[in-house]
Amino acid sequence: MHELRKDPLLGRWVAVFSNSLPPDALNVSSESIENEPCILCSGKEAETPPEVAAIRAEGTAPDTAGWWTRAIPNIKPILETEGELGRKGIGMYDRMNSIGVNELIIESPEHDKNPEDLGAEQFRRVLELYKMRITEIEKDARIRYVLICKSSGRLAGATYSHPHSELIATPVIPRLIKGELDGAKQYYAYKERCIFCDIIEEELRMASRLITETENFVAFCPYAPKFPFEFWVMPKRHGCAFEEASPEEMEDLSQVMTSLIKKMRVMLKEPAYNYVIHTAPNRIPRRNHWHTLGDDFHWHIEVAPRLMRESGIQWGAGFYILTTSPEDAAKYYKEA
């Protein structure tokens, strides 16, 4: 008999198959993305918008070759930096201008090499650039939230075949993030403990969904995930903001992400996948409102291979179906 599981943070329900399917039983093919010639490759800097930040070799100039990772405005941005929010009501509805930031983080100078293929040091550079951009963008009081996400493969929503992530900074807090923030705040008000710290303790105690543990991080398949083989990476040290991670944590995180993403790619035969960094909102616009964030929220990374297209039930009701239980998924990761 299948079972239903309720996410303790967001309150959503998912169905978990009683007979888990192994990786080989899933359709893990990923459509390729044709994007030739690629303007994101090293040597094509003049064909992209000017870079806003980069980590590059010493002595190399902006918008030239010699970079390891590079941030540029999105070529077809969803949000525009210049202008006013222009919030107003139209009848019962509210509206505002699409003000914010939308950037591409080019993760590798080589078209066919992901950062994990180039080693943990390259992945660390990408993570460092994430931190740099979040820190800079949050100086703008119009910005409420900065979201970093990676889409690899067309099934995951990628628009370029070159390894890249996307940054989107919005004047509102996205609903899913707000759900996490509210759930964490309610849990803390009730138990006077961080829900994420409790999750870490429970996953370490149970061990059935634990993939790996390091000095600074735990990686595990969550109890009620949305997708088969989804895993989370969470720092042991309590902290609400990714950009406040220590150099030691960044070094450790780069090792963990490099190892697990390579395992996932091998085990699931190069699937499309997403990962997203869930971090604290910008506290500058509403500092008093977010005064408890340091106690109740805990930044983390969620990684989800996209093995199947979303069904009507999942899309229409948010009722997710798992063909492989998180306990079995964790076992496959450990064996990979």
Distances (CA, A) of 62 to 39, 114, 124: 16, 22, 20
Q: Which has more pLDDT, 34 or 207?
A: 207
Q: Where are the domains of the chain?
A: 3-335
Low-confidence winner among 14-23, 127-136, 189-198 (lowest mean pLDDT): 14-23
In this structure, is the dihedral angle defined by the CA atoms of residues 50, 54, 56 and 60, taken in order, positive or negative?
positive
Percent of the chain, pLDDT > 70? Answer: 87
- Average pLDDT rounded to a whole number, residues 11-16: 58
Tell me the per-residue pLDDT of 246-303, one tens digit each, with 9 for 90 and over.
999 999 999 999 999 999 999 999 999 999 999 999 987 666 667 789 999 999 999 9
- Average pLDDT rounded to a whole number, residues 114-126: 97
Average confidence score pLDDT of the chain: 89
Q: What confidence category does residue 30 fall into, taking pLDDT thresholds of 50, 70 and 90? A: very low
Q: Which residue has the tokens 């093919």?
A: 29
pLDDT confidence of residue 80: 79
Q: What is the CATH number of domain 3-335?
A: 3.30.428.10
- Given a contact cutoff of 8 angstroms between Cβ atoms, the answer to whether 211 and 267 are in contact is no
pLDDT confidence of residue 1: 42
Tell me the per-residue pLDDT of 57-75, one tens digit each, with 9 for 90 and over.
999 999 999 999 999 999 8
pLDDT confidence of residue 121: 97
Tell me the per-residue pLDDT of 127-165, one tens digit each, with 9 for 90 and over.
999 999 999 999 998 899 999 999 999 888 888 999 999
CA-closest candidate to residue 222, choices 209, 234, 235, 211:
209
Q: What confidence category does residue 90 fall into, taking pLDDT thresholds of 50, 70 and 90? A: low
With 0-12 / 13-18 / 19 or more C-beta atoms within 10 angstroms meaning exposed / middle / buried, residue 14 is buried
Q: Which residue has the tokens 């971090």?
A: 279
Tell me the per-residue pLDDT of 305-329, one tens digit each, with 9 for 90 and over.
998 777 666 666 667 888 999 999 9
Peptide bond into 222 cis (omega under 30): no
One-letter amino acid at 262 equals K
- Is 223's pLDDT higher than 80? yes
Q: Which has more pLDDT, 287 or 76?
A: 76
Two tokens at 315? 């899309």
- Is 13's pLDDT higher than 60? no
CA atoms within 13 A on the CB side of 165: 25
String of b and e for 47-59 (b: at least 16 CB within 10 Å)?
Answer: ebeebbbbbbeee
β-pair partners for 100: none
